[in-house]
């Protein structure tokens, strides 16, 4: 599965697959045609702006050199420097996690090894979801179930076109559906969503609610008529994810006594579901778990990466971002970037830059679909010669866990 020249040389279909998957948004669509040799992608070829940008950026940036303070160096030098920084750090924060399964594994090994904390760049949203899960649990469904069977989809999300560009096509305008004649009715809640959901819940309980909004009354009627209403929750601007989720979750619980109802949680950011899932099976809890005492301690507020960095509790930031060329946030602390080869740092280079292969383009991988139910395989299309993040982090942590194996002697 390797190519030799510097251009976008295609490999033969891997595993008999004619199509490839896209890791550049949380839908992880796996029906894209393979990029054509040396030709920039267009939205005609691949019906998604985000995918086109993601693939083009990665395909045209296979070359990047490790750097220390902005100056090219050898991989060994960069690895050694990163190791020194990590070894000397009191509390390193492994942040970003804009990546796939292997990136998360890599980040978690660094955290366990050097006594750090891991957090995703959208950690606030994940943490708000987690706090609801940890308090009460929830009743959820999958993308496929909504596509096939929901007859009413209530959207509580902003910027869906931006965060999940093909959601419309995949979920709402589905033609062939199971046991359903027509596409689901879609209702979007624009604002005051927490209170509307609360009012609908009160109406279902036949509580006296003389001044219920017309929006709430309308939604109550629709939900009362629906066989399988689903509340889809994505990125919510101007409202707290936690409050929205609590209100929606309560409503679903009430409805489910008599009919099928569910939440569809869309995750949102690239890699956020993988970050939480992979961290959970490594440390028992998930993100925002600290290893500085040798055992894991989760604290959804205290261990927020941004807070640890802003308050000076953390003294080193490691940014893992193989799927986005977006620069890490500027912080006071020295920074190690394990990142997308197209990352540019303007005049503020990090202490160490370790470019890594982009999963789904330059190496194989797996990334969680937004609903967390499925890990989608990512294909290697070109060989960039760059190391994968997991191998790299194993090198950095070589004295601790060689190949994931401790030297117990």
For another protein, the binding residues in 269-288 under the rule CB under 8 A are 276-278, 280-286
Distance CA 287, CA 295 (A): 14
Query: Does residue 376 interact with another protein by CB under 8 A?
Result: yes
- Chosen residue from 38, 69, 71, 137 binding another protein by CB under 8 A: 137
Query: Does residue 147 interact with another protein by CB under 8 A?
Result: yes
Query: Does residue 143 interact with another protein by CB under 8 A?
Result: yes
Torsion of CA 162, 164, 168, 174, to 10 degrees: 170
Give one DSSP letter per residue of 369-382, joined into a string.
-TTSS-EEEE---S
- Chosen residue from 17, 159, 207, 218 binding another protein by CB under 8 A: 17
Smallest separation, CB 48 to another protein (Å)? 14
Alpha helices in 208-297 (DSSP H): 214-225, 241-256, 272-283
Answer whether 252's CB lies under 8 Å from 263's CB. yes
Answer whether 372's CB lies under 8 Å from 32's CB. no
Alpha helices in 164-213 (DSSP H): 167, 193-204
Residues in region 30-59 near another protein by CB under 8 A: 30-31
Range in contact with another protein (rule: CB under 8 A) among 64-72, 200-208, 236-244, 252-260 = 252-260
Smallest separation, CB 171 to another protein (Å)? 8
- Chosen residue from 141, 303, 322, 324 binding another protein by CB under 8 A: 141
Token reading at 395: 């090198």
- Chosen residue from 3, 133, 243, 306 binding another protein by CB under 8 A: 133
Q: What are phi and psi of 142, to 5 degrees?
A: -110, 165
Site string for another protein, 81-110 (x = CB under 8 A): --------------------xx--x--xx-
- Pick between residue 246 and residue 327 the one whose CB is nearest to another protein: 246
Distance CA 77, CA 343 (A): 19
Torsion of CA 273, 361, 379, 79, to 10 degrees: -70
- Chosen residue from 294, 344, 347, 348 binding another protein by CB under 8 A: 294
- Pick between residue 140 and residue 197 the one whose CB is nearest to another protein: 140
Query: Does residue 116 interact with another protein by CB under 8 A?
Result: no
């Amino acid at each position: 599965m390797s190519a030799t020249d510097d251009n976008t040389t295609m490999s033969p279909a891997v595993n008999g697959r004619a199509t490839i998957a896209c890791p550049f948004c949380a839908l992880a669509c796996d029906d894209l045609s393979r990029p054509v040799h040396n030709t920039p992608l267009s939205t005609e070829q691949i019906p998604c702006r985000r995918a086109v940008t993601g693939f083009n950026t990665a395909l045209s940036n296979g070359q990047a050199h490790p750097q220390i303070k902005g100056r090219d160096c050898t991989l060994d030098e960069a690895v050694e420097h990163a190791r020194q920084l990590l070894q000397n750090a009191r509390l390193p924060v492994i942040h970003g996690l804009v990546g796939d399964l292997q990136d998360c594994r890599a980040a978690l090994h660094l955290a366990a090894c050097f006594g750090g904390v891991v957090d995703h760049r959208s950690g606030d949203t994940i943490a708000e979801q987690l706090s609801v899960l940890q308090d009460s649990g929830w009743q959820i469904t999958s993308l496929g179930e909504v596509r096939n069977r929901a007859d009413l989809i209530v959207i509580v999300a902003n910027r869906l076109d931006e965060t999940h560009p093909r959601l419309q096509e995949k979920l709402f305008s589905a033609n062939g559906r199971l046991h359903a004649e027509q596409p689901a009715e879609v209702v979007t809640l624009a604002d005051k969503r927490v209170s509307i959901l609360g009012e609908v819940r009160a109406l279902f309980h036949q509580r006296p609610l003389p001044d219920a909004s017309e929006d709430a009354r309308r939604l109550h009627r629709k939900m009362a008529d629906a066989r399988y209403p689903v509340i889809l929750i994505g990125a919510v601007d101007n409202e707290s994810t936690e409050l929205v989720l609590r209100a929606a979750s309560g409503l679903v619980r009430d409805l489910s006594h008599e009919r099928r109802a569910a939440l569809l949680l869309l995750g949102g950011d690239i890699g956020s579901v993988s970050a939480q899932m992979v961290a959970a099976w490594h440390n028992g809890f998930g993100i925002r778990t600290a290893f500085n005492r040798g055992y894991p301690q989760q604290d959804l507020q205290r261990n927020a990466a941004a807070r640890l960095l802003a308050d000076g509790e953390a003294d080193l930031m490691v940014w893992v971002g193989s799927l986005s060329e977006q620069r890490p946030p500027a912080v006071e602390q020295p920074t190690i970037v394990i990142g997308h080869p197209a990352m540019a740092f303007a005049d503020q280079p990090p202490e160490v830059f370790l470019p890594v292969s982009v999963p789904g383009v330059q190496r194989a991988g797996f990334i969680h679909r937004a609903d967390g139910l499925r890990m989608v395989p990512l294909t290697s299309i070109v060989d960039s010669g760059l190391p994968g993040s997991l191998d790299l982090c194993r090198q950095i942590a070589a004295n601790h866990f060689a190949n994931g194996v401790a030297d117990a002697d």
